[in-house]
Structure 1
């Protein structure tokens, strides 16, 4: 059962807004739990206490956040207060406040300034879960602000220009209530919005209907299309965490999924996955990996999951490159047996750029390249993990292009792999994946997705391939689409899309193709 939002701390018995979620997650600066109080029906209930820090949705990151960002707008609508956008010692990106005494407080001002504290606005603020979701969006926006070139530059799904969360929420509500469910509208909207925008839609939907969008879509959709759409409604870290949990749930372990995610994510992504995994499942990812794997394979997975690889730098250490290449050769092909710990140490600690040069240098010592050496030296899950890891290091977009091809080649389709890659990469590097796919296989991913995959999943994956052009509200079938949009569910583009068209159909196909972002 969700708790009413609005637990507070007080200062000498005076009202002071302080979200309970800070103390519950143990953030630095969280007040002592003995000061805990509540706001119920607009009335404050708090113990007397000499002092307590005040901070609403405190940030985890030190990066500043632009005014007018989606989470700031959502917070303003929710509480009538402004979000802190000043970077600095206080940790911008969150909401800070000061108790000025006698029912006055200052919220998100560079210096304490007293404002009337609107206790009457506390009623109907929503659930703690809603605010925690808003907090996560605030964190993500802060991270993006800290990087000059976000990874989404190569994503096929980008932020929608004329975004209106309320309008999208209304259209989705109407689509769900339509007899037989209007899947086309649901697909067209959710596959053409960025992840932060989808979070805002879910928030707006809950505000409109008092229901969770995920629950409503679970009831309305089914099969592979449901998997695509529900995956899109999670944050990237939530999606990866849930996929990792599923790979280790019950009898046996889905090593293939575990390896793909752990080997392909960046340090920052892995650290966020670890945090979210603990938040979602109340246990550490590392503990679950240890309990579900064994031997050297376990050691490799645990080392990678920590996300402690050296970052790429501007200085190239040619001496270390040569030494690492020699060490890999000496620990493997050159000797009888394999010094696996040495391989694990080098391949999990060195930067990606460094290892790319190491693998090139390795060829001057060994008669085999690194991939061939792995096949000769180790077997089973450990072999598979090392092969995936080296392929990711050498060329990650090509690695995913190969994974997509393998998931759809031959008779039948490995939908789980196909969906996971399309959902997880559509806002990261799908444009690069499409290019590598076309280069290697001579057909577009877009066309490949259109083979029959099964009932009603295709539309979603196509959507991830095919972002509408600037100026188009949506494709035909979306309530706000112009009649002359010129796009229908039968539209085919020309190349990564070419492969998508061969093994999918219906709304699942459209979703896949939109996520692909178009034909090459």
Structure 2
């Protein structure tokens, strides 16, 4: 007879982020037919009973389990790729989706160095026989098109020199564009696109600082929630805060699939980069370490692999 503890472990193993392969193997491998039947009858979230009292897997949960089993595989595959290929494939996957959100493309365009973004564009040529800029222009038909093409085309100055007076004047330009948002979407303003797609990150951080000093709010606070401009400003000026926000959303109970997949993407793509700063920001913002949150939320080999990536170098 299956014990209540085994039933509880198995139920948890089939839910959440990833599946606990070790517990599933250990428990199911020794269960007799009557114990498996008992589990089916006692797990209405997983099984439905038809009019002949036949318990069958819920089709929606089968689809969910396929995704959960694949999380570990997907994380390993992405981690072993060359970073340029990884970014190129992530961008392509974003572009062919119908219900896309702007986060993936903006992350690639705005948090990578100039050389990393150039490398991703070269990899995109090699993999898909198109330029990334060409496909962005072909697939995006919203008001964001010119902005996105400009972002992925960027090759920013990486030095520390900043003209402070120019940064102040451009903070005013951005403020005026935001104030006039009811008349014209700021993402369609040529000067806004020029500033955010060409200026160095050091220069943009100076703009960010002057904006707060002059207008008592940060630039991203004044931008519409969820807009491509807000996401780009956060990625360019406060990437650790941006990634902390994305990770927190992905780890929430009840997060949808589009939100959950960000967990793999962020941990894998930032594992060799600014993960230390992201973890510090996450702890500051949410009062719990990222490692602890992943430990509590995810399962099995997927959990172990994520933890190994975020704890590297500690």
TM-score by length of 2: 0.71
Unaligned runs of 5+ in 1: 1-179, 181-220, 446-496
2:295 counterpart SS class: coil
Correspondence 1:440 to 2:285 = yes
Residue of structure 2 equivalent to 1:93 = none
1:296 counterpart SS class: coil
Residue of structure 1 equivalent to 2:295 = 501
Measured in 2, the distance between the counterparts of 1:303 and 1:359 equals 20
Is the contact between residue 266 and residue 307 of structure 1 (CA under 8 Å) also seen in structure 2? no
Is the contact between residue 237 and residue 276 of structure 1 (CA under 8 Å) also seen in structure 2? yes
Is the contact between residue 106 and residue 235 of structure 2 (CA under 8 Å) also seen in structure 1? no
Measured in 2, the distance between the counterparts of 1:343 and 1:511 equals 40
Measured in 1, the distance between the counterparts of 2:74 and 2:165 equals 48
| Residue from 384, 391, 408 that aligns with 2:234 | 391
1:216-365 pair list within 5 angstroms: 223-249=70-96, 251-313=98-160, 315-333=161-179, 337-338=183-184, 340-365=189-214
- 1:334-390 deviation per Cα after TM superposition (whole angstroms, max 9, x unaligned): 686245221111111111111111122123443643123222xxx8xxx52111111
Report the alpha carbon displacement of residue 245 of structure 1 after superposing the two structures with TM: 0.8
User: CA-atom RMSD, angstroms?
Assistant: 2.5
> Larger Rg: 1 or 2?
1
Measured in 2, the distance between the counterparts of 1:268 and 1:503 equals 35
Correspondence 1:418 to 2:212 = no
Residue of structure 1 equivalent to 2:306 = 512
Residues 1:279 and 1:259: Cα distance change in structure 2 (over 3 Å): same
Q: Looking at both structures, which has the greater relative contact order when contacts are Cα pairs under 8 Å and sequence separation is at least 6? A: 2
Report the alpha carbon displacement of residue 305 of structure 1 after superposing the two structures with TM: 0.3
Residues 1:505 and 1:388: Cα distance change in structure 2 (over 3 Å): same
Residues 1:365 and 1:224: Cα distance change in structure 2 (over 3 Å): same
Unaligned runs of 5+ in 2: 1-24, 26-67
Residue of structure 1 equivalent to 2:218 = 369
2:254 counterpart SS class: coil
| Count of aligned pairs | 243
Structure with greater strand percent: 1
Measured in 2, the distance between the counterparts of 1:433 and 1:363 equals 22
Report the alpha carbon displacement of residue 311 of structure 1 after superposing the two structures with TM: 2.5
Report the alpha carbon displacement of residue 300 of structure 1 after superposing the two structures with TM: 1.1
